[in-house]
Amino acid sequence: MIADGARRRRADQRGETTDESHARLDDERIVAAVTDAASRGRIPESHDPETTTCVKRPTYVGTVRMYVRGGSQALRVIRSLGLVPPRHSMLMVRENKMASTIAVAEKKSVDAARHAFTNDSAFMIAYERAIETEKKGSDGDSSEVCLVDDPFARMLAGNKGKELSDSFGISAAPQFGLWPDFHKQWTVVRTKFIDDHIARIVNEFEASAICGEQLQFLNLGAGLDTRSLRLKAMAKITTSYEVDMEAINGPKGDLFEAIGAGSEHPFLCQRNIVTANMTNDGELEASLVESGFDRERATIVLAEGLIMYLGDKAETFLKDVSRIVVASGSWLILNFIEHPALTNEKVRELLMRGGWKDLVFNCFGDEVLDYGRFDKSYEPSKAFSFVVCRKD
């Protein structure tokens, strides 16, 4: 108690709080240990003037400067000697403050970017990919098979994604009225279906390609798609053309930058962000040509969650895609809702006229679009359909 009282009095004389006094004494002990180790040759002479100066100036100020100027280098030196800075140490205080400051700044940046992004359904889909990804757990184990691995989805979705997903199920598909999680499962199934087809097409093309020829990827209505960050097969794609409207592409770029896409998390292939309103005649083709799209190169075309929003322009859209993508070896993966104006038969007719072959249709709940996630008490639904086809 007497020692503690004396320590407090000395701290008061220096204008320090008790914690700051502890920090100063802790750092003095660290400096003494580092200096002793240096004198015994346990720390090699460094060519880094910042580190060398700190080792040769065993003072409290030197320790603080060592952290401020040397950053994590200082901690590496100390920890390499088997020393752990006490929790009061200025080294640890500064490290923790810096980590906290960075985390807060990053959160504000991501939140601001999310606020500017106006495509709410993209947040919902990202959230539904996130909850599937998180079934793995921190150790990678899961009692249930995890069909989607998207480590970026949670960062993208925010709170809005959860709110939309939780309220969406019953109102969106009355045929699944007693299955409130139907849309969460549909998102997982459709993501898995697309991922598997991309991987298959890339592998088949690579096996038959001449002189290292590569596919390109055309993502129509890309939204917050993360395949160019997470899907390994994309590393074998030469360029991904991600097409959406200006209102989506601008905020999307800011949001991806805020989560570290392209910096901390490198893209797996080159990306070209293409702005086009696909309801305007000729705009898609003109924008792709301007962006460098190679019509002579085999292409994987993905239209996920798009055509149902094009209204009476859906037929024109399919004709445009068929005219733009002409190279042999190209594939189309089209997600659509069958309805009286756009039946399976109508889609088949339009695509076959456009030169597509070997059309395969699937709907949610059939033997393919299932993956063990469809509630078999319901009938398969053509309101949630895909067609996959190719060009010779």
DSSP string, 137-152: -TTS--SS------TT
**303, two tokens:** 């239209």
- Tens-digit pLDDT profile for residues 248-302: 999 899 999 989 999 999 999 999 999 999 999 999 999 999 999 999 999 999 9
Query: Domains in the chain, ordered, with CATH?
Result: 2-97 (no CATH), 168-390 (3.40.50.150)
Confidence of residue 71 (pLDDT cuts 50, 70, 90): very low
Note whether 321 and 352 are within 8 A (CB). no
**4, two tokens:** 């503690």
Measure the CA angle with vertex 67, ends 45 and 78; round to 5°. 55
Q: Output the pLDDT for position 169.
A: 62
Confidence of residue 43 (pLDDT cuts 50, 70, 90): very low
> Does residue 13 surpass a pLDDT of 70?
no
Question: What's this model's pTM, rounded to 2 decimal places?
Answer: 0.72
- Tens-digit pLDDT profile for residues 74-124: 555 555 555 544 444 444 444 454 444 444 445 556 777 676 666 688 899
Q: Which residue has the higher pLDDT, 125 or 88?
A: 125
Strands of the sheet with 270-275, listed across from one edge: 270-275, 237-244, 215-220, 299-303, 331-336, 381-390, 357-364
Neighbours of 155 (CB within 10 A): 22
Q: In whole angstroms, give the CA distance from residue 12 to residue 278.
A: 70
Confidence of residue 131 (pLDDT cuts 50, 70, 90): very high
Q: Which residue has the higher pLDDT, 185 or 144?
A: 185
Helix 60-70 to helix 72-80 angle, to the nearest 10 degrees?
120
Reduce the DSSP state of residue 316 to 3 states and report it: helix
Confidence of residue 149 (pLDDT cuts 50, 70, 90): very high
- The H-or-E segment that residue 281 falls in is none
**172, two tokens:** 């969106």
Nearest partner of 198 among 210, 209, 206, judged by Cα? 206
